[in-house]
Amino acid sequence: MDAPVNAPTPSPDHRMLLQRWLPMLRWLPRYTLKTLLADLGASVIVAILLIPQSMAYALIAGLPPQAGLYASTLPLLVYAVLGSSMTQSVGPMALTSLMTASALAPLVAGGIPPLAAAAALALLSGMLLLGFGVLRLGFLTYFLSQPVVSGFTSGTALLIAAGQLQPLLADSTAFGLCALALLALAGEGVSRWLRSPTQALLAGRILPLLVLIALALWAAQHGHIATLGHLPADFANWHWPALDAGLARTLFVPALLIGLVGFLQSITIAQTLALQRRETINPDQELVALGASNVAAACVGGLPVSGGFSRTAVNAQAGARTPLAGVFTAGWIVLATLWLGDWLALLPKAALAATIIIAAARLIDWRMLLSTWRFGRRDGIALLATLLATVTLGAVEGVAVGVVLSLALFIYRTSRPQVVEVGRLPGTEHFRNVARYAVETQTEIVLVRIDEQLYFGNTRHVECALSDLLARHAGAHELVLVLSAVNDVDYSGADWLIRLQQTLRERHIRIHLAEVKALVREQLERGGVLAALDGELFLSANDAYNALGQPQAPDYVI
Binding to a copy of itself (CB under 8 A): which residues in 104-143?
Answer: 139, 142-143
Residues 146-185 within binding reach of a copy of itself (CB under 8 A): 146-148
Instruction: Kindly state whether residue 460 participates in binding a copy of itself, applying the rule CB under 8 A.
Output: yes
**How many other C-beta atoms can be found within 10 angstroms of the C-beta atom of residue 537?**
16
| Least distance between a copy of itself and beta carbon 524 (Å) | 10
Closer Cβ to a copy of itself, 340 or 539, answer by number:
539
The answer for 319, left when phi > 0, alpha when psi is -120 to 50, beta otherwise, is: left
Instruction: Kindly state whether residue 30 participates in binding a copy of itself, applying the rule CB under 8 A.
Output: no
Closer Cβ to a copy of itself, 74 or 465, answer by number:
465
Handedness of CA 144, 148, 150, 155 (dihedral sign): negative
Contact map string, positions 376 to 395, toward a copy of itself, x by CB under 8 A: x-xx----------------
482: which strand partners?
449, 514
Contact with a copy of itself (CB under 8 A) among 17, 135, 464, 546: 464
Q: Measure the N-to-C terminal CA separation of the chain; round to a whole number of Å.
A: 71
**How many other C-beta atoms can be found within 10 angstroms of the C-beta atom of residue 24?**
17
Instruction: Output the DSSP codes for 413-453.
Output: HHHS--EEEEEEPTTSS-EEETTTS--B--SSEEEEEE-S-
Burial per residue of 458-481, b for 16 or more beta-carbon CB atoms within 10 angstroms, e otherwise: bbeebeebbeebbeebeebbbbbb
Closer Cβ to a copy of itself, 55 or 497, answer by number:
497
For residues 453 and 447, give the distance between their C-alpha atoms in angstroms, rounded to a whole number.
Answer: 17
| Least distance between a copy of itself and beta carbon 203 (Å) | 24
Contact with a copy of itself (CB under 8 A) among 172, 191, 317, 415: 415
| Least distance between a copy of itself and beta carbon 496 (Å) | 8
Closer Cβ to a copy of itself, 162 or 408, answer by number:
408
Which class for 122: exposed (0-12), middle (13-18), buried (19 or more C-beta within 10 A)?
Answer: buried
Q: Which stretch binds a copy of itself (CB under 8 A): 120-128, 177-185, 342-350, 445-453?
A: 445-453
The answer for 439, left when phi > 0, alpha when psi is -120 to 50, beta otherwise, is: beta
Residues 231-290 within binding reach of a copy of itself (CB under 8 A): 267, 271-272, 275-276, 278, 280, 283
Which class for 36: exposed (0-12), middle (13-18), buried (19 or more C-beta within 10 A)?
Answer: middle
Strands (E), 244-284: none
Instruction: Kindly state whether residue 534 participates in binding a copy of itself, applying the rule CB under 8 A.
Output: no
Instruction: Kindly state whether residue 317 participates in binding a copy of itself, applying the rule CB under 8 A.
Output: no
Instruction: Kindly state whether residue 523 participates in binding a copy of itself, applying the rule CB under 8 A.
Output: yes
Instruction: Output the DSSP codes for 92-154.
Output: --HHHHHHHHHHHHHHHHTT--HHHHHHHHHHHHHHHHHHHHHTT-GGGGGGS-HHHHHHHHH
Closer Cβ to a copy of itself, 254 or 457, answer by number:
457
The count of residues interacting with a copy of itself (CB under 8 A) is 75
| Least distance between a copy of itself and beta carbon 381 (Å) | 11
| Least distance between a copy of itself and beta carbon 490 (Å) | 6
The bridge status of strand 445-450 relative to strand 419-424 is antiparallel
Contact with a copy of itself (CB under 8 A) among 162, 237, 340, 429: 429
Collapse the DSSP code of 27 into the 3-class scheme (helix H, G, I; strand E, B; otherwise coil) and give the result: helix
Contact with a copy of itself (CB under 8 A) among 24, 214, 361, 461: 461
| Least distance between a copy of itself and beta carbon 433 (Å) | 7
Closer Cβ to a copy of itself, 109 or 518, answer by number:
518
| Least distance between a copy of itself and beta carbon 436 (Å) | 6
